[in-house]
Structure 1
Amino acid sequence: MMKKKGLQITNNHGWTIERLQEQERRMKNANMAKRIAVIRLIMQGYLGIQVAELLNIHRETVSIYVQKFNQGGMDALLERHYAPGRKPYLSPDEERELRKMLEESTPADEGYGIETSWNTRIIQHVLEEKFSVTMSRGGICDMLHRWGFRYTHPTYTLKRANPQKQKEFQQEMELIKKTCPTTQS
């Protein structure tokens, strides 16, 4: 009866077990550290199925990592291709134009009614009219969050308000709150 031969590192690309351990420790991404651990354990003589059990990954994944490392070394092992994702609704130039508009002007300045602050309904109208883009208000909200914008309710300041009288009123209210017995049920 012949003993089955396990996975082997056919080209170590100059990596030793000690160097792999050090690289594994320095790796911030846990998934990438696990890939390095696969190679280290195979170099230490573990079988692919043992490595899969130890690291809680599929045995075929172990084979894929060994194959990648043998072919292209550490760069090939750690290379990760992400799905391209959905094409953005706005081009980079259109995004810059819209961001500048939101940061530097009001809807009234741009000729979109008499509003003094932007909301998703107005932005939706701007997108349709100016860029021929239809987006849901939720999608607009997500886009604004990606850009670092946060939704706040507009506050009003009274131009002729007396700051001294306001402060006195606030102090008086605090005093009333402290001295007034609260009804408890």
Structure 2
Amino acid sequence: MRKGLTITNNHGWTIEQLQRHEKTIKKASMAKRVAVIRLIMQGYYAVQVAELLNVHRETISGYVQKFNQGGMNALLHRDYSPGKPPFLSSKEERELRRMLEHSTPAEEGYGFESRWDTRILKHVIEDKFAITMSRSGIGDMLKRWGFSYTRPTYTLKRANCQKQEVFQRELDMVKKTSQMS
């Protein structure tokens, strides 16, 4: 009798099916798990599989045990750590996002700035939510939300305000008519 790991329940998988399935998996670490099962089914010892795939032998036995108990789903299931909980609640996040998308710091009563930056947002978060975050942490949060950093454009000091207002009205009219059609 063969001594070592064995697949006690193949869950309907053959060696050929495992080989085909292994090639369709995009993530290399998950394909390696399938390769472990295939090689054990082909008769290799755990030590040999560990050497071939550069995986610890205890990891091999863990994969075989998962596969025997729950099949392919159990083998490929990966629990990710939830990570650090966010500083802001979902309600606070929605409020902050609304401010960023629909107003300026001046409109919200934070100085005379016409654009948001991490320095201003740090004060807003401390004032509104009593939470202290670093500026780099705020930048990471904004990136996760899909915001990107852009340099502010300059404003012309001698610009004609009346011409700009007329142009803005015409632009709004064009936008409205293009949305209707």
Partner of residue 168, structure 1: none
Q: Return 5+ residue gaps in structure 1 as ranges.
A: 163-185
Distance apart, 1:4 and its partner CA: 6.6
Q: What amino acid sits opposite 2:33 in the alignment?
A: R
Aligned match of 1:95 in 69, 93, 102? 93
- Calculate the TM-score normalised by the size of structure 1: 0.82
Distance apart, 1:157 and its partner CA: 3.3
Q: What CA distance in whole angstroms lies between the structure 2 residues aligned with 1:60 and 1:95?
A: 43
Q: Determine what percentage of the aligned residue pairs are the same residue.
A: 69
Q: After the TM superposition, list the runs of 4 or more consecutive aligned residues in structure 1 that deviate by more than 4 angstroms.
A: none
Distance apart, 1:143 and its partner CA: 0.9
Distance apart, 1:153 and its partner CA: 2.1
Aligned match of 1:52 in 50, 55, 74? 50
Partner of residue 168, structure 2: none
Q: What CA distance in whole angstroms lies between the structure 2 residues aligned with 1:76 and 1:88?
A: 29
Q: What amino acid sits opposite 1:160 in the alignment?
A: N
Paired residue secondary structure (2:137): helix
Q: What CA distance in whole angstroms lies between the structure 2 residues aligned with 1:153 and 1:68?
A: 52
Q: What CA distance in whole angstroms lies between the structure 1 residues aligned with 2:17 and 2:50?
A: 21
Structural RMSD (CA): 1.7
Distance apart, 1:147 and its partner CA: 1.3
Q: After superposition, what is the alpha-carbon deviation per residue over 1:31-90, rounded to whole angstroms, capped at 9, x for unaligned?
A: 110000000000000111000011010011111100111111111111111111101011
Q: What CA distance in whole angstroms lies between the structure 1 residues aligned with 2:28 and 2:2?
A: 31
Larger radius of gyration: 1
Aligned match of 2:124 in 119, 123, 126? 126
Distance apart, 1:101 and its partner CA: 0.5
Q: What CA distance in whole angstroms lies between the structure 2 residues aligned with 1:74 and 1:133?
A: 44
Q: What amino acid sits opposite 2:118 in the alignment?
A: T
Partner of residue 16, structure 1: 14
Q: What CA distance in whole angstroms lies between the structure 1 residues aligned with 2:135 and 2:127?
A: 15
Q: What amino acid sits opposite 2:114 in the alignment?
A: T
Q: What CA distance in whole angstroms lies between the structure 1 residues aligned with 2:139 and 2:13?
A: 48
Partner of residue 41, structure 2: 43
- Aligned 1:1-185 pairs, distance under 5 A: 5-158=3-156, 159-160=159-160
Partner of residue 172, structure 1: none
Q: Return 5+ residue gaps in structure 2 as ranges.
A: 164-181
Q: What CA distance in whole angstroms lies between the structure 2 residues aligned with 1:151 and 1:66?
A: 47
Q: What CA distance in whole angstroms lies between the structure 2 residues aligned with 1:51 and 1:136?
A: 47
Partner of residue 166, structure 2: none
- Calculate the TM-score normalised by the size of structure 2: 0.84
